[in-house]
Amino acid sequence: MMEVIVAAAAQYIVLQTLDGRTMYVNPRHIVSTSQAKGKLVVDAVQCVIYTTDGRIITVAENCNSVKARIEQLK
């Protein structure tokens, strides 16, 4: 199930952290994504997300799923 949160005129996509917690990410802050190749820190990392403020977010969803959620907001 794809979840989208709309709060105070900002739209967020809902992603899962590596330890199963829910994370809300503003897709406007996503600069790029990179599919994890091989073992990157832990096997659970599927996608690496780079944001405008320099953060690197690792999530359990694959990058195709992340991109689909972003497209759903457009």
Alpha-carbon distance of 51 to 31, in angstroms, equals: 5
Domain ranges of the chain: 4-73
At 68 the three-state DSSP class reads helix
Q: What is the pLDDT of residues 8-65, one digit of tens each?
A: 556 889 999 888 899 999 999 999 999 887 665 667 788 999 999 999 998 989 999 9
Q: Give this prediction's pTM.
A: 0.77
| pLDDT surpasses 70 at 4 | no
Q: Which fold has domain 4-73?
A: PH-domain like (2.30.29)
Q: What is the pLDDT of residue 42?
A: 67
Q: What is the pLDDT of residue 37?
A: 76
Q: What is the pLDDT of residue 18?
A: 86
Alpha-carbon distance of 49 to 46, in angstroms, equals: 10
Q: What is the pLDDT of residue 1?
A: 47
